[in-house]
Structure 1
């Protein structure tokens, strides 16, 4: 386990990397003894630094919940990160490509909570009972740590690679649709690049939400009413470049799009 001074130095380094958009060398290369617990300590301190700078918590993201994403990253367990209100973009947004470190796009569902969910014994039924709406979302992945050779420890420290999210389409109540069978077609510049079904996320997209409630319970934390929970991608990440337009068709749940300039 890393000492407090080292954790503080890493968190401050990542805040600065986010400001300058310059990724830092891989943490596990410099601190091979670093653990998953250390990485969540870094993330928590990074969150405190951001909140002290005026950023406001909007929700959480869950990552690496599907086999598609685990195969793409070589990482076999879910992780989580923080969503601040300045990370939530409207459907049709024009996104500044240079604001990110070569962004990638993922296709997801987001859960808007109207009740708290507290672990450590939360279930899928608790999630469905606490969800006001489920809505399509695109996650924009970013990286404050160099990509090559990353492990779960690097990714968690990097706020689970959260950059931003675009929310759109048709919000639905969780009991009005079979969430396992929500599907999406992802286009880049009018070409189909990825397709996926939401059951790819732990067999039910709500499963990641109760996993998260149970995970953070160990730190005395709960998911709160009003939070937006990004439940995990059911496609592989799609690289995007300046000038690209991304469009996702969720069928009855509508469409969502953004353009990178």
Structure 2
């Protein structure tokens, strides 16, 4: 099922109420019943409207958008949600952590980690100025606009009770983004075949997951291009300096207090985070 963004099933008041609920859940650490269960008429378009209003409120409070993320990039994850395309969200500046950070596991609900590559843009992605058909962005456009590639870990967050949750809940919850652990080293994208970057995820000394970057829509730059095109459809430019989180090539792995997490990337070193 491709995401249907053509119509709304909720009123503006219902959308605003969901944003209020999510903000309160983030503040208190409580989890709320899935919106999809309480609002059967809710559509993907409604979910992105919830996300848009949540973002607008955070920006009005002084938050700064520093990047963008794509999720559900693997076939397995899409099948789990009955979809055939990814979802996407935004990254605020205060959600970017330095590699080597020590963080509280309880800062996020049901914290899980994923292994990803990020693109740091040297130039803006302006709607209609891609090299593809009708000005769409391509993987080549992403690479041309990229200053460097940065290995990164994503920490997932979830403010909904997961039993019964669907993709409209995930999208409403900013595509489940909790934080990004940004690697300390930056790499020239031209120096690697970015579709063949292998990685091992280790927790407390044991390898718990492995993956290869080509699992992300065939190439992480293709994944980033897909996301840039979704924002372009809304008339939104992705500015220079943005960090584009291109999607996980490992399964989400739960973490808890006491876990030492290391992602070891082929040719790109390690990204570490300690949970307390």
Same fold by TM-score greater than 0.5: yes
Give the alignment partner of residue 130 of structure 1, picking from 116, 136, 145. 145
Who is 1:239 aligned against? 254
Who is 1:116 aligned against? 124
Who is 1:88 aligned against? 96
1:218 and 2:226 are equivalent in the alignment: no
Gaps of 5+ in 1: none
Secondary structure of residue in 1 paired with 2:160: coil
User: Is the 1:200–1:234 contact (alpha carbons within 8 Å) kept by the matching residues of 2?
Assistant: yes
TM-score normalized by structure 2?
Answer: 0.91
Who is 2:203 aligned against? 188
- Counterpart CA distance in 1 for 2:171 and 2:75 is 18
Aligned 1:92-103 pairs, distance under 5 A: 92-103=100-111
Secondary structure of residue in 1 paired with 2:191: coil
Secondary structure of residue in 1 paired with 2:119: strand
- Counterpart CA distance in 1 for 2:261 and 2:42 is 37
Gaps of 5+ in 2: 1-7, 129-135
Aligned-pair distance for 1:223?
Answer: 1.4
Who is 2:78 aligned against? 70
Structure 1 runs of 4+ with >2 Å offset: 67-77
The total of aligned residue pairs comes to: 261
CA gap of 1:115–1:221, structure 2 versus 1, over 3 A, is same
Secondary structure of residue in 2 paired with 1:220: coil
Secondary structure of residue in 1 paired with 2:22: helix
Aligned-pair distance for 1:71?
Answer: 5.0
CA gap of 1:248–1:74, structure 2 versus 1, over 3 A, is farther
User: Is the 1:119–1:215 contact (alpha carbons within 8 Å) kept by the matching residues of 2?
Assistant: no
User: Is the 2:119–2:150 contact (alpha carbons within 8 Å) kept by the matching residues of 1?
Assistant: yes
Aligned-pair distance for 1:73?
Answer: 5.3
User: Is the 2:68–2:91 contact (alpha carbons within 8 Å) kept by the matching residues of 1?
Assistant: yes
